[in-house]
Amino acid sequence: MSKEKSFLEKALDALASLKLTLFVFFTLAAASIIGTLLPQGTSTAEMQGQFSPTIISIIDQLGLNNLYHTSWFMVLLLLLCLNLLVCTLDRLPKTIKLLKRQEETFDSRKLSKFSYSASFTTGLSAEEARGLLHGAVADSFGPLHELKSEGAYCAVNEKGRWSRLMVYGVHASVLLVLLGALAGSRLGFEGFMNLPEGATSGEVIMTGGHSFIDLPFKVRCDKFEVSLYDTGAPKEYRSDLTIVEDGREVLKQSILVNDPLTYKGVTFYQASYGATLKDAEIELKERDSGKTITMTLPYQENRTIPGTDEQIRIAEYQENLMRFGPALGLVLGKVGQDANSGSYILVDHPEFHGNRVQNYQVRVLKTTKSHYTGLQVRRDPGVWLVYLGFILMLVGIGLTFYSSHNKIWACIEPGTSGTGALVSIAGRSSRNTPGFAESFEELSRRLTDQLKPEKMKEVQKKK
Amino acid sequence: MTSSLLLSITTFVYLFCTVLYLSGLLFHYGRLLTAGTLAGLAALVIQMAGVILRWVESYQLGYGHAPLSNLYESLVFASWAIMLIYLIFEWRTKQRTIGVFPAFFAFLAMAYASFSTGIDSKIQPLVPALKSNWLIAHVITCFLGYAAFAVSFGLSILYLMRKASPDNPKPKSGILSALPDARQLEMFNYQMILFGFLWLSVGIITGSVWANSAWGKYWSWDPKETWSLITWLIYAALLHARNMQGWKGQRVALLSMIGFGCVLFTYFGVNFLLSGLHSYAR
């Protein structure tokens, strides 16, 4: 048998080590600091002016502008999980063994080795001293149970053994939270939808804006309302929503910022709002004939121009086009075909010569705006795991704070001179709380008193 | 009687309390320390009356919300929490000599809230994002944590001073001789850090659950969230190093001071230097 540890054992030792724990803690902290100082989600192109090219290339290489989603950050979290797992597998069996062990014998010579210990000589007989000792310990800590011991009477009081398990609860809670986060990011989605008043949609644009998904039902915004305080500060944002499934209205609910709507695992949060175009009244003047047509165009809907085979649509609305104010993006084409030409029409500059599409000079007579509500849409099947982790963490840390594994030993040996007795006590606490120290001192004082103070040999407290 | 008058009185009582604790320590005069405790208790009561009155006043203005909604109100609560935690600590440990720092921090928080031109002490209506029952739970728990870390910061300074004194472990004279011995200070500090860690954890979790109910995300790496996590990591590292690696004494005291630096940055630095979801805390 060689004493050399195999590679696997060494790796496991390293994974279970406290050094790794501290390394991960400090590295995560340092990375997070960078993440808060450097604006996240800004592209390196946007940073050109701010930093030197070298720094920008470092930012780019390490992905520091999207730090919390980089693979190296994930590796750190994975290391944390492995550290917790290996550590638990390493220690939990030992702890359980320790918890199951019933102390039956005791060697009175061990007493002085504990962090709290005291001994007293007394002129009382061993039996008298035993009665006093039991009473005193029971008052300060709890009843004593006798242990087998050679040449002495020994007894122990023990409390809060289970508190040694709490730390495993806290560690498991961290794993649960991270597992829940993983489940959420893999199985859930997160996006938004901007719904104008009156509009119905089931299309959610994913965060990042590169893709969208279709919900198995639709949402209609019946009304959006902002109410203000007298001071002009916003008081409440409210959207009245209706869920429409298979053409039927299945749920009607108003949502507020702190009060979302959930339907079939998908939750809609009031996130933002804005104004958008509802419709516009326009005048079309045929340039050849000078004939004018006036019509009202709903936003993003095709309308046939009366007396022609052409259709027209407001495809886009710009609040401020190249600083010329609001503009309609009009497109025109044959009915039933794709639009073949388009142009921006300036709303506030009716005489602008560029206000035309094909053969029509266009003038915007009136625009009507409507509100849209900005909804954050999210499905997170991992959230219950995260919450479970939260509860476990609070219970674990709370009980770690409010409990400890305390043990008090007491021994009585016959006096050296043949009469009287030597009484010793010792204590150990998994967390040296002021409460424990105080109780121990109180017990020592009481024993000093009761076991005849004039015969006290030594009262000492170590450490 | 208005809340702002009561809170102004509180500021001065905290100053008086600091002076009493300091002179009690300097002159080795126990009665001054007792007077410090009484002054601290008085400040706590007056301040609580002020806070309750402010709550009532907000209802009279038609806003009706707990006074925990902006920087001014949170500073008032922070100073109250520091004193409360310290007095409970004093009562439990029977140690009066370490009241200087908590009293001074409570005074600083109140003075900053009252005299800084950048802080609006008017009662303002709640913005929609803050209209939630989670507000009270989140703010109270976070600040209990912050306050415990403030007390721990004071304990760490005293510990380091005690350790650095040439005639450690038993100084014969000077301020330090009145202090509990280094071993006791270390133990008190550890208890305080564990207490703070518990409340910081509750604070982060309540914030997270609130964020999930308001924005649909329990964690979005907002600077305030991230800095609270950084603080949590530092104190978690401290607890592990102390319990498993046997780091005691100076290193724990220093880490606790770094941790409190993170608390201060989470509280003030993020508000003034970084932007994010907590912008109403300005």
pLDDT tens per residue across span A341-363: 888 999 888 888 888 888 899 99
Buried b (16+ CB within 10 A) or exposed e, B221-235: bbbbbbbbbbbbbbb
**For A394, which of B202, B233, B234 is closest by C-beta distance?**
B202
The minimum CA-CA distance between B18 and chain A, rounded to whole Å, is: 25
Cβ atoms of A228 and A220 closer than 8 Å: no
How much is the ipTM here?
0.89
B214 contacts in chain A (CB < 8 Å):
257-258, 260, 269
**What value does the mean pLDDT take over residues B14-31?**
91
**What value does the mean pLDDT take over residues A46-69?**
84
User: Residue A107 phi/psi, 5° resolution?
Assistant: -105, 115
- From the list B45, B67, B71, B40, the residue with the least C-alpha distance to B56 is B67
In angstroms, the CA B103 to CA B89 distance is 13
- Note whether B201 contacts A397, CB cutoff 8 Å: yes
In sequence order, what are the beta bridge partners of A243? A219, A251
In angstroms, the CA A259 to CA B216 distance is 10
B218 contacts in chain A (CB < 8 Å):
383, 386
Whether B92 and chain A come into contact, CB under 8 Å, resolves to yes
The minimum CA-CA distance between A157 and chain B, rounded to whole Å, is: 24
The minimum CA-CA distance between A390 and chain B, rounded to whole Å, is: 7
Amino acid B282: pLDDT: 43
Whether B197 and chain A come into contact, CB under 8 Å, resolves to yes
DSSP letter string, B35-94: HHHHHHHHHHHHHHHHHHHHHHHHHHTT----S-SSHHHHHHHHHHHHHHHHHHHHHHHT
In angstroms, the CA A172 to CA B251 distance is 28
pLDDT tens per residue across span A377-403: 999 999 999 999 999 999 999 998 888
In angstroms, the CA A380 to CA B204 distance is 20
Whether B280 has a pLDDT exceeding 80, the answer reads no
**What value does the mean pLDDT take over residues A247-255?**
91
**What is the average pLDDT value for chain A, to the nearest integer?**
86
- Note whether B221 contacts A25, CB cutoff 8 Å: no
Most confident range (mean pLDDT) of A38-42, A231-235, A272-276, B94-98 is B94-98
Decide which of A67 and B41 is more confident: B41
The minimum CA-CA distance between B133 and chain A, rounded to whole Å, is: 9
Whether B136 and chain A come into contact, CB under 8 Å, resolves to no
| Assigned token pair, A299 | 């936003």
Contacts of B79 (CB under 8 A, 6+ apart): B10, B14, B47, B105, B106, B107, B108, B109, B110, B113
Whether B226 and chain A come into contact, CB under 8 Å, resolves to yes
**For A233, which of B125, B212, B219 is closest by C-beta distance?**
B125
Amino acid B174: pLDDT: 64
Q: Categorize the per-residue pLDDT at B129 as very low, low, confident or very high, splitting at 50, 70 and 90.
A: confident
| Assigned token pair, B22 | 């300091």
Amino acid B35: pLDDT: 94
Chain-centroid distance of CA B1 in Å reads: 27
Amino acid B101: pLDDT: 94
**What value does the mean pLDDT take over residues B39-58?**
93
User: Residue A354 phi/psi, 5° resolution?
Assistant: -80, 0
Amino acid A287: pLDDT: 84
**For A29, which of B132, B230, B240 is closest by C-beta distance?**
B230
- Note whether B191 contacts A235, CB cutoff 8 Å: no
**What value does the mean pLDDT take over residues B103-111?**
95
- Note whether B223 contacts A36, CB cutoff 8 Å: yes
In angstroms, the CA B140 to CA B143 distance is 5
| Assigned token pair, B199 | 């409340």
- 3-state secondary structure at position B222: coil
Strand ranges, E, within A177-211: 189-196, 200-206
Give percent above pLDDT 90 in chain A: 28
Distances (CA, A) of A455 to A87, A120, A391, B18: 51, 8, 54, 46
Instruction: Name the closest residue on chain A to residue B259, using Cα atoms.
Output: A29
Q: Categorize the per-residue pLDDT at A25 as very low, low, confident or very high, splitting at 50, 70 and 90.
A: very high
The minimum CA-CA distance between B68 and chain A, rounded to whole Å, is: 17
**What value does the mean pLDDT take over residues A260-276?**
88
**What value does the mean pLDDT take over residues A136-159?**
87
Whether B234 and chain A come into contact, CB under 8 Å, resolves to yes
Whether B201 and chain A come into contact, CB under 8 Å, resolves to yes
The minimum CA-CA distance between B144 and chain A, rounded to whole Å, is: 14
Whether B277 has a pLDDT exceeding 70, the answer reads no
- Note whether A36 contacts B226, CB cutoff 8 Å: yes
- Note whether A394 contacts B205, CB cutoff 8 Å: yes
**What value does the mean pLDDT take over residues B16-38?**
91
- Note whether B198 contacts A35, CB cutoff 8 Å: no
- Note whether B129 contacts A258, CB cutoff 8 Å: yes
pLDDT tens per residue across span A308-349: 889 999 988 888 888 888 899 999 988 888 888 888 999 888
Amino acid B261: pLDDT: 96
Mutant choice from A23, A25, A167, A226 vs B, greatest count of B C-beta within 10 A: A25
- Whole-model pTM: value is 0.84
Q: Categorize the per-residue pLDDT at B45 as very low, low, confident or very high, splitting at 50, 70 and 90.
A: very high
Helix (H) or strand (E) holding B2: none
- Note whether A437 contacts B187, CB cutoff 8 Å: yes
Whether A1 has a pLDDT exceeding 50, the answer reads no
Amino acid B173: pLDDT: 60
- Note whether A22 contacts B241, CB cutoff 8 Å: yes
The minimum CA-CA distance between B223 and chain A, rounded to whole Å, is: 5
Cβ atoms of B64 and B146 closer than 8 Å: no
Amino acid A13: pLDDT: 86
Whether A208 has a pLDDT exceeding 50, the answer reads yes
Whether B93 and chain A come into contact, CB under 8 Å, resolves to yes
Buried b (16+ CB within 10 A) or exposed e, B184-205: bbbbbbbbbbbbbbbbbbbbbb
Instruction: Name the closest residue on chain B to residue A234, using Cα atoms.
Output: B127
In sequence order, what are the beta bridge partners of A117? A426
The minimum CA-CA distance between A21 and chain B, rounded to whole Å, is: 8
Whether B124 and chain A come into contact, CB under 8 Å, resolves to yes
Q: Categorize the per-residue pLDDT at A78 as very low, low, confident or very high, splitting at 50, 70 and 90.
A: very high
Whether B64 has a pLDDT exceeding 60, the answer reads yes
Cβ atoms of A365 and A294 closer than 8 Å: yes
- Is the alpha carbon torsion for A128, A133, A138, A143 positive or negative? negative
Amino acid A455: pLDDT: 42
**For B214, which of A68, A269, A431 is closest by C-beta distance?**
A269
Decide which of B177 and A136 is more confident: A136
pLDDT tens per residue across span B240-275: 998 877 787 888 999 999 999 999 999 988 877 776
Decide which of B80 and A459 is more confident: B80
Instruction: Name the closest residue on chain B to residue A20, using Cα atoms.
Output: B237
The minimum CA-CA distance between A238 and chain B, rounded to whole Å, is: 10
